[in-house]
Structure 1
């Protein structure tokens, strides 16, 4: 089964918020006081969404900061799993017998 592509939160910001609401990166920058370069880098997938940015976006779009940080965390985890899969497969699980084993991969 093919995996879905790992989508950067910047793509979600652009496709699900800015484009449908017809908001430019410039306007978002002015309205939230997030530097325009930061917004552009996030949209291009070249920069993470920080707690500060998440709080500003959540105030602006009526979402929560956890929504934005969750998108970023999910993206980061998938990237790490992809980039370091061989390393993670070598790690021996050392969990209590009654514990719940969850495979990170």
Structure 2
């Protein structure tokens, strides 16, 4: 039975660049230069990614998943979690001003 994930997060999600820097690169003994070469991108691109100054794009997710043997969804989901967290914080007041709609009880009520 799945456990519902309805509790709001209290800490920011981990940026995929941090995962790359702290988990993947040391495990595979990769330097920024060797990672960039393996992925076919510039060192600057990798440097910006591992410093969390660049987002993982769909193309980068495909490259990373090919290199590490995991899913591109892994990388994209991690990036999406960071993006949503950042945007929610930036737009919190505007988002809270949007009223929540209740469910419509039946068609007759909806058409009235």
Is this a same-fold pair by TM over 0.5? yes
Quick check: 1:24 aligned with 2:28? no
Q: How many residues align?
A: 97
1:40 to 31, 36, 47: 47
* Match runs of 1:81-92 below 5 Å: 81-92=88-99
**Cα deviation per residue 1:33-61 (whole Å; 9 max; x = unaligned)?**
02211111011111111011100000000
Relative to structure 1, is the Cα distance of residues 34 and 95 closer, same or farther in structure 2, using a 3 angstrom cutoff? farther
Contact between 1:51 and 1:65, CA under 8 Å: does it hold in 2? Answer: yes
Are the aligned partners of 2:12 and 2:85 in contact in 1 as well (CA < 8 Å)?
Answer: no
Runs ≥4 residues deviating over 6 A: none
Give the superposition deviation at 1:95.
4.8
**Which of 1, 4, 13 lines up with 2:11 in the alignment?**
4
Unaligned 5+ segments in structure 2 are 1-8, 106-112
Deviation digits for residues 11-40 of structure 1 (CA, Å, limit 9, x no counterpart): 011111002221111101111102211111
Structure 2 CA distance for aligned equivalents of residues 27 and 95 of structure 1: 54
Aligned-partner Cα distance in 2 for 1:85–1:6:
17
Q: Which runs of 5 or more residues in structure 1 are unaligned?
A: 99-105
Matches within 5 A, 1:46-65: 46-65=53-72
